Amino acid sequence: MSRYQDAGLFVVLAVAWGAGFSAIEVGLQTIRPILFASFRFDIGAVVTLGALAALGRLDLPRTRADWQAIFVAAAFLVFGNVFFLFFGQLYTSGSIASVVYSLNPVLTVGFAALLLSGDGLTPRDVVGILLGLVGVVLIARPSPTAATEPPAGAPGVLDGAFELLGADGLGAALVFCAVIAVAAGSVLLRRVDAPMASLPTTGWAMGLGAIMLHAASLGLGEPIVVPSGTWTWVAVGYVGVVASSVGYGAYFTLMRRRGPFTANLVSYAVPPVAAVTGWALLDEALPPAAVAGFGCILAGFLVLNRKAVGEEIRRLRA
């Protein structure tokens, strides 16, 4: 039964995060990126912690490992992740951002080799990671239809990078930084191995991450505004409740039960969902270079994990 439960969590997570890329695009039209990210985890933390308290399942951090897990999750999986992701989506579409995000399992294997096994990277690991990076380079190639001026709300400090890389290139580079944060954080969280359950860890990490994001928003001088407009509220509500409370709950549970490798496989299911929602809601289409880049990233993953994939296929056939 647990395998079917894990499969259900995987599907829920793919849909929650895939459609979330389009919701982020909608919200960024009226809210500055880090303030928007702060609202996302304000809602996510309140919903998660409130639901757990109502069910009598809200654990308090009691051990040093519990506090370490909360801090690692807040710093890497919440703050580092959405700080770069939301800035990245100022410059590029949610569909392209989701393809760059699919590099997550490739980098997770690299960080696991360095931080968990202690054996370092093998030549095969290096080849797989390089294939993934080639995929990101293909995605980041300047598009002739890309914006020629930085978008409204973009920080001036990135203007030079915008001139050098173009809109899609800079957006892909920023999302790539988000992927590094998620891959490193998921491996570090596995290394901590705290005794506290996954869902309370999720709720406390979202709360701490929201505080970090509000501090960053104030430090960047973003104006404090209340979301306005129906679609803006829908976007904020979606990323807060579905993409954060539900999505992060499913992700942390999968990572605790199956490890960071299996949990981060969702990165390959997210781009199709993001592409469909982007096409249906925002009239977006993936450029051929992005499709080719996704193919390189997937090839890098298969090079890195051919034994694990082969074993999983044999188990499914059995």
Residue 304 has a pLDDT of: 67
Picking from 91, 10, 47, 88, the residue whose alpha carbon sits closest to that of residue 244 is 47
Report the greatest alpha carbon distance in the chain: 57
For the chain of 318 residues, list the mean pLDDT of each consecutive stretch of 10.
70 88 90 93 93 92 93 95 92 84 80 67 73 71 58 71 76 90 88 86 94 95 86 92 87 77 74 83 75 77 68 66
Residue 190 contacts residue 114 (beta carbons within 8 Å) = no
Containing domain of residue 306, as a range? 2-317
Q: Give the whole-angstrom CA distance, residue 115 versus residue 112.
A: 5
Residue 256 has a pLDDT of: 76
Q: Which two tokens stand for residue 15?
A: 């849909």
**Using one digit for the tens of pLDDT, what is the confidence trace for 137-169?**
776 665 545 556 767 667 777 777 777 677 778
The angle formed by the CA atoms of residues 12, 16 and 17, to the nearest 5 degrees, is 120
**Using one digit for the tens of pLDDT, what is the confidence trace for 217-249?**
999 999 888 888 889 999 999 999 998 888 888
How many folded domains does the chain comprise?
A: 1
Residue 192 has a pLDDT of: 85
**Using one digit for the tens of pLDDT, what is the confidence trace for 109-126?**
777 777 666 556 677 767
Residue 16 contacts residue 250 (beta carbons within 8 Å) = yes
Residue 309 has a pLDDT of: 64
Residue 70 contacts residue 76 (beta carbons within 8 Å) = no
Picking from 43, 30, 296, the residue whose alpha carbon sits closest to that of residue 153 is 30
